[in-house]
Amino acid sequence: MTKQKKKPKIYDYFKETEDPYAGGVAWCPGCTLELTARFVPKVLGNDIILVGCPCCAAPVLYGQNLGTWHRLSYFSSLMTGVASSATGISRYYRKIGRDATVVCFTGDGCSADVGFQPLSGAAERNERIIYITYDNEGYMNTGYQRSSTTPMGASTSTTPAGTISHGKPTPAKNVPLLMAMQGAAYAATATLSHLDDFARKLTKARQKIKEGFVYIHVFSPCVMGWRIEADMSIQVCRMAVRTNYFPLWEAENGRFRLTHEVSSPKPVQEYLRLIRKFSHLKETEINEFQQMVDRKYAVIKRLCVTE
Ligand SMILES: Cc1ncc(C[n+]2csc(CCOP(=O)(O)OP(=O)(O)O)c2C)c(N)n1
Ligand code: SF4
């Protein structure tokens, strides 16, 4: 009888036991950005160089007054220069013969909009960097404005639901798909409700960076901007996956694969009703939202190869 391969446990992926962050940090309670920022070095290790910019991550990573809340190496760039700064750092270390893992860590406003050109350039040049976007679907640090990854219908401070505007009128830009289409060595989606999947993808990122550009897009609910309770953020992540609103997939050198296929997806309404930024949506708009989710999922599904 052939022995079945044992499924790795989450701790098997952990490289580090020492948490490089302070116990108390300046993020909102229940923020998934905090959990992502803590999880990434657990798997990638503390010997990484983080590159970031102004965003909700910055108060902790960059620090305030005379202190920071972590012991990682951190380089702060402008929002327009994260991927290009990371390119310089990565190339410099390779030139002096040192193996450095350069990890960009930004919000979606940077990767999808303000810093998209250097991100796209780095992907096209196949730079040896790992770029992680925590996607809270808006510019949260500056007051919950819409970004190009804000979904259609969401109420934000610049697309408020009211008598004139009824939420964002256009659908979200699919940045991970664009990165995969640009030929990234590895592109993937991840979220905190599926930690094994996330950990496996980070582990793979570590290997694939030797070949070239790696992009991981992390679905990250924002308790303040989305108007959810602090203890609900993981439930929201889980429902995003269960409804196919946020499918989990990876693309290795252009070969797509669903990493967690949902057998009977729930209606997207069950996701929408958890989040107050969608509470104004009427039945017709929820139906349109469902169609949009189905269309986006069908695109990914058709791109997937059967093993
Ligand atoms: C070029 C430039 N434009 C605008 C700003 C102002 N700004 C600072 S933080 C921020 C929001 C960043 O949003 P995002 O990248 O989505 O991260 P989040 O705040 O959601 O964590 C903006 C617009 C800036 N610092 N630089
Ligand atoms: S505003 Fe949102 S993304 Fe920013 S720290 Fe608070 S919960 Fe996190």
Q: Does ligand 2 have an atom closer than 6 angstroms to the CB of 224?
A: yes
Q: In this model, does residue 307 exceed pLDDT 60?
A: no
**Which-ligand-closest: CA of 225?**
2
List CB contacts of 173: < 8 A, sequence separation 6 or more: 112, 148, 149
Q: Does ligand 2 have an atom closer than 6 angstroms to the CB of 27?
A: yes
The band of 221, judged by pLDDT with boundaries at 50, 70 and 90, is very high
The band of 4, judged by pLDDT with boundaries at 50, 70 and 90, is confident
| 194 within domain boundaries | yes
CATH of the domain at 151: 3.40.50.970
If you take atom 4 of ligand 1, which residue's CA is the nearest one?
Answer: 79
| 279 within domain boundaries | yes
Closest CA to 75 of 57, 51, 56: 51
| 2 within domain boundaries | no
Mean pLDDT for 274-290 is 97
Å from CA of 119 to ligand 2 middle:
23
Q: In this model, does residue 160 exceed pLDDT 70?
A: yes
| 35 within domain boundaries | yes
Residues 231-251 pLDDT 10s = 999 999 999 999 999 999 999
Å from CA of 148 to ligand 1 middle:
13
If you take atom 3 of ligand 2, which residue's CA is the nearest one?
Answer: 222
| 5 within domain boundaries | no
What percentage of the chain carries pLDDT values higher than 70?
A: 98
pTM of the model: 0.97
List CB contacts of 180: < 8 A, sequence separation 6 or more: 187, 215, 251, 254, 256
Residues 97-137 pLDDT 10s = 999 999 999 999 999 999 999 999 999 999 999 999 999 99
| 1 within domain boundaries | no
Domain span at residue 131 reads: 10-303
Question: Which pLDDT value is given to residue 68?
Answer: 86
| 71 within domain boundaries | yes
Mean pLDDT for 13-36 is 92
Question: Which pLDDT value is given to residue 24?
Answer: 87
If you take atom 13 of ligand 1, which residue's CA is the nearest one?
Answer: 139
Q: How many domains does the chain have?
A: 1
